[in-house]
Amino acid sequence: MPTWIFTVTSRTGAKVNQITGASSDSIAVYDEDDLEQRIAAAKTDPRQLDVHVQKIA
């Protein structure tokens, strides 16, 4: 069961969701190591991503 919903939104309007072309996307995250890796990657992403993490469990 997922523990968090990880959502990123590009402040530059760049495509984040490769399927729909949207500038925002969400994914279910199941463990803390995965969550930390995604947050670290978002910090260095050139699309200037805003990150929102919602705990669901």
**Domain for residue 9, yes or no?**
yes
**Domain for residue 57, yes or no?**
no
Band (pLDDT 50/70/90 cuts) for residue 2 is confident
**Domain for residue 55, yes or no?**
no
Contact 24, 47 (CB under 8 A): no
As given in the structure block, the two tokens for residue 39 are 């947050």
Tokens 């670290």 belong to residue: 40
Render 16-45 in DSSP notation, one character per residue: --TTT--SEEEEEE-SHHHHHHHHHHHHT-
**Domain for residue 16, yes or no?**
yes
Q: Assess whether pLDDT exceeds 80 at residue 57.
A: no
**Domain for residue 56, yes or no?**
no
Instruction: Determine the structural domain holding residue 39 and report its residue range.
Output: 4-46
pLDDT at 53: 98
**Domain for residue 53, yes or no?**
no
Give the number of domains in the chain.
1
What is the per-residue pLDDT across 4-44, written as a single tens digit (0 to 9) for each?
999 999 999 999 999 999 999 999 999 999 999 999 999 99
**Domain for residue 10, yes or no?**
yes
DSSP state of 13: -
Contact 27, 37 (CB under 8 A): no
